[in-house]
Chain A
Amino acid sequence: MSGVTSSIMRIGIGLPLFLVAVASYFLFPGQLGLIAHLFILAIFALSYDLLQGHAGVVSLGHAVFFGIGAYTTAILGKHGVSDPLVVLVLAFLVSGAVAGLLTRIVVVGNDLTRLLVTLGIGFLFFEAANKANWLTGGADGMPDFEVGRLLGLYSFDFMGKTAFWYTLAVLAVVYLFLLLVTSSPFGVALRGIRENVRRMHAIGAPVNRHLAVTYIMSGAIAGVAGALLAQTSRFASLDMLGFERSAEVMMMATLGGTGSIPGVVLGAATFGYLKDMLSVISPKYWHLGIGIVLMLSVFVLRSGIAGALAGLARRMERRT
């Protein structure tokens, strides 16, 4: 299958997803805030999956970029830069730049040292944001910053209508961009690195440069997700860059099926919805539930929702 047809095939799965997302606006008008939040989680999970699912780089500190995006938005808003799209682009640039600074120390080493380095970086940024009270508000977070009207026209309302369309549009852009990237020769090179780094070195592929570019892209998109959350909730807080969020993004990607773009979107939506539901009962049951699901997923749902659906489709085909 050529690259073009394969990417059309993959949009083919994305199109019904998009229609379902649009339909949810009319089906659940009281839940728009929650749905917009699910879109944001999907963007964050997609950014992480570019790194883990496609390039095979496991990170335990990806929330750092999410948090940087959120704090960039909050700090800019405090200083009067409030146009949502301008802020979004700035958050993209800032978190991408930080990823660029960190890339040298993340790309080195094997999986174990990489896990530890990303974990350490995650806690480093958390502590830094915690101590830098004058900039980030410390443990209290940053409420009440200015968020302007989208395109100068639509303000973010209580119902979440603007937030819904805004986050859906960004999600669609990110989705298409990642589709393009992963079906390009660059995407093929990433999969090569994931499957066999030594061979990629041997055929002369610039492995470290590829990984660095991926890390920067992934960080920048995660920053966009963080900025979206800060804009739609008008709040930036420490939990946006904490370890729990880093662990959650791994869970979302795994639940959906790493390496599958529509799968990861579904995984993030499922995860976000379950979290919302179980947290209403009690946060401790949420932690117990997610812990058990994670442990089980390693044994039964090895390739996530995407893998399960693909298996189902294959079985259906055989019957007919």
Chain B
Amino acid sequence: MAGIVSVIVDGIAYGMLLFLFSIGLSVTLGLMRFINLAHGAFAMFGGYVAVTLMNGYGVPFLLLLPVAFLATGLFGAVAEKLVIRHVYPMPELQQVLFSIGLAFAAGAVANIIFGPQQQPMLLPGWLSQRISVLGLDITGYRIFLIGAGLVAAAALIALFNYTLYGARVRAAVDSRRTAEGMGINVSLLFSLTFGLGAAFAGLGGALAVGFLGLDPTFPLKYLVIVLMVVAIGGPGSIAGSFAAAIFIGVIDALFKYFVPEIGGFVIYAVLVVMMVFFPKGLAGGRTA
């Protein structure tokens, strides 16, 4: 029994990371109809920023997270402004090709700079300790991850539901033309939102180093699972992505732990079945 609970806690922590990885993709897909298969590259970027700062300059862990968040966000916004916005009007195939190219190139650059090996990350003592919660021994880092994920989700939901910026984004998701007609600067909104999505992925990447590891195959390794979160959650829906991320994280952890022979297999079967029966995601028709 305790075994099941700790596996579920693992799965929830994993789900929180998936949520951070995928929320940017979900919003950009919903808002800009941009199929970005390279979104994982932003998470990898954040991860490498964190690793470099910690191992090279001894920056404390809690300071790493905002730095990775801001650096990746800035990087994403600049990349959007310079290159990616020209890809939005292209047909799906061109978007897929462009972003696959970007994912390959990003992995190769990381490989050239940092080498193919896993990057080490020494967590501070207070995070690697085991903490007893209701008679269960859980590593502090899992709890920290779950807490960070909850805070991020709450912040995002508040941002999108209760601020002017959020109202504008929702308006543009529902109808870009009407939003533009009302005087909303949708193009600026795109840059900001893309940067924000990249920033959350970067934060997720920095948090993931101590849990999932980090190497140059990262963008391709998490490509499918991130797309799954978006597809099942329904593009553009934050609550949907959150639920889908936790669901997928827990399912994956449970099957990998209890039925390792078919482990990784189940999650892809879930994807195919979901796509055939719920092509618009669990959140339903909110696809703009």
Q: Which of B12-20, B93-101, B158-166, B173-181 forms contacts with chain A?
A: B93-101
Pair A298/B102 contact, Cβ less than 8 Å: no
Q: How far is the CA of A294 from the CA of B220 in the complex (A)?
A: 16
Pair A287/B107 contact, Cβ less than 8 Å: yes
Pair A243/B97 contact, Cβ less than 8 Å: no
Q: How far is the CB of B113 from chain A (nearest CB, A)?
A: 10
Q: A116 touches which one: B83, B109, B265, B271 (CB < 8 A)?
A: B271
Please give the number of chain A residues whose Cβ is less than 8 angstroms from any Cβ of chain B in the complex: 43
With a cutoff of 8 Å between Cβ atoms, the chain A residues found around residue B220 in the complex are 243-244
- Closest residue of B by beta carbon distance from A286: B108
**Known contacts A131-B265, A298-B94; is-contact A113 B108 (Cβ 8 Å):** no
**Known contacts A119-B224, A254-B97; is-contact A290 B272 (Cβ 8 Å):** no
A181 contacts B by Cβ under 8 Å: no
**Known contacts A52-B93, A111-B92; is-contact A294 B98 (Cβ 8 Å):** yes
Q: How far is the CA of A243 from the CA of B86 in the complex (A)?
A: 26
Pair A288/B271 contact, Cβ less than 8 Å: no
With a cutoff of 8 Å between Cβ atoms, the chain A residues found around residue B276 in the complex are 105, 108-109, 117
Q: How far is the CA of A299 from the CA of B83 in the complex (A)?
A: 10
Per-position binary interface string of chain B over residues 246-258, scored 1 when its CB falls under 8 Å from any chain A CB and 0 otherwise: 0000000000000
Q: How far is the CB of A113 from chain B (nearest CB, A)?
A: 4
Interchain pairs with CB closer than 8 A, number = 123
With a cutoff of 8 Å between Cβ atoms, the chain A residues found around residue B87 in the complex are 298
Contact residues of B between 250 and 278, Cβ < 8 Å to A = 261-262, 264-265, 268-269, 271-272, 275-276
Q: How far is the CB of B109 from chain A (nearest CB, A)?
A: 6
With a cutoff of 8 Å between Cβ atoms, the chain B residues found around residue A60 in the complex are 96
Q: How far is the CA of A125 from the CA of B261 in the complex (A)?
A: 14
Pair B93/A110 contact, Cβ less than 8 Å: no
Pair A115/B92 contact, Cβ less than 8 Å: yes
**Known contacts A284-B108, A291-B101, A295-B101; is-contact A113 B231 (Cβ 8 Å):** yes
Q: A298 touches which one: B97, B107, B262, B275 (CB < 8 A)?
A: B97
Contact residues of B between 59 and 107, Cβ < 8 Å to A = 83, 86-87, 90, 92-94, 96-98, 100-107
- Closest residue of A by beta carbon distance from B95: A298
B contact patch SS: helix
With a cutoff of 8 Å between Cβ atoms, the chain A residues found around residue B268 in the complex are 120-121, 123-124, 127
A128 contacts B by Cβ under 8 Å: yes
Q: How far is the CA of A287 from the CA of B108 in the complex (A)?
A: 6
With a cutoff of 8 Å between Cβ atoms, the chain A residues found around residue B103 in the complex are 291
A292 contacts B by Cβ under 8 Å: yes
Pair A290/B101 contact, Cβ less than 8 Å: yes
With a cutoff of 8 Å between Cβ atoms, the chain A residues found around residue B224 in the complex are 119-120, 123
Pair B272/A113 contact, Cβ less than 8 Å: no
Pair B102/A120 contact, Cβ less than 8 Å: no
Q: B109 touches which one: A111, A128, A131, A288 (CB < 8 A)?
A: A288
B35 contacts A by Cβ under 8 Å: yes
Pair A119/B227 contact, Cβ less than 8 Å: yes
Q: How far is the CB of B240 from chain A (nearest CB, A)?
A: 15
Q: How far is the CB of A254 from chain B (nearest CB, A)?
A: 6
Q: How far is the CB of B87 from chain A (nearest CB, A)?
A: 7
Interface size range on B against A: 35 or more
Q: How far is the CA of A254 from the CA of B92 in the complex (A)?
A: 13
Q: How far is the CA of A250 from the CA of B227 in the complex (A)?
A: 19
A155 contacts B by Cβ under 8 Å: no
A251 contacts B by Cβ under 8 Å: yes
Pair A294/B104 contact, Cβ less than 8 Å: yes
Contact residues of A between 264 and 292, Cβ < 8 Å to B = 284-288, 290-292
Pair B100/A113 contact, Cβ less than 8 Å: no
Q: How far is the CB of A11 from chain B (nearest CB, A)?
A: 28
Q: How far is the CB of A62 from chain B (nearest CB, A)?
A: 13
**Known contacts A291-B101, A295-B101, A298-B90; is-contact A112 B272 (Cβ 8 Å):** no
Q: How far is the CA of A116 from the CA of B25 in the complex (A)?
A: 14
A7 contacts B by Cβ under 8 Å: no
Pair A112/B102 contact, Cβ less than 8 Å: no
Q: A291 touches which one: B90, B108, B279 (CB < 8 A)?
A: B108
B228 contacts A by Cβ under 8 Å: yes
Q: How far is the CA of A258 from the CA of B22 in the complex (A)?
A: 31
B112 contacts A by Cβ under 8 Å: yes
With a cutoff of 8 Å between Cβ atoms, the chain A residues found around residue B92 in the complex are 58, 111-112, 115
Pair A298/B279 contact, Cβ less than 8 Å: no
With a cutoff of 8 Å between Cβ atoms, the chain B residues found around residue A101 in the complex are none
With a cutoff of 8 Å between Cβ atoms, the chain B residues found around residue A115 in the complex are 35, 92, 96
Q: How far is the CA of A127 from the CA of B224 in the complex (A)?
A: 13
- Closest residue of B by beta carbon distance from A289: B108
Task: Across the A-B interface, give the 4 residue pairs with the lowest CB-CB distance, nearest first.
Answer: A294-B101, A291-B105, A288-B108, A291-B104
B-side residues, CB < 8 A to A, are 35, 83, 86-87, 90, 92-94, 96-98, 100-109, 111-112, 116, 216, 220, 223-224, 227-228, 231, 261-262, 264-265, 268-269, 271-272, 275-276, 279
Listed A/B pairs (23) with beta-carbon separation below 8 Å: A52-B93, A58-B92, A58-B93, A115-B35, A117-B271, A117-B272, A119-B271, A120-B275, A123-B224, A124-B265, A124-B269, A131-B265, A250-B93, A284-B108, A286-B108, A288-B108, A288-B109, A290-B101, A291-B107, A295-B83, A295-B105, A297-B97, A298-B87
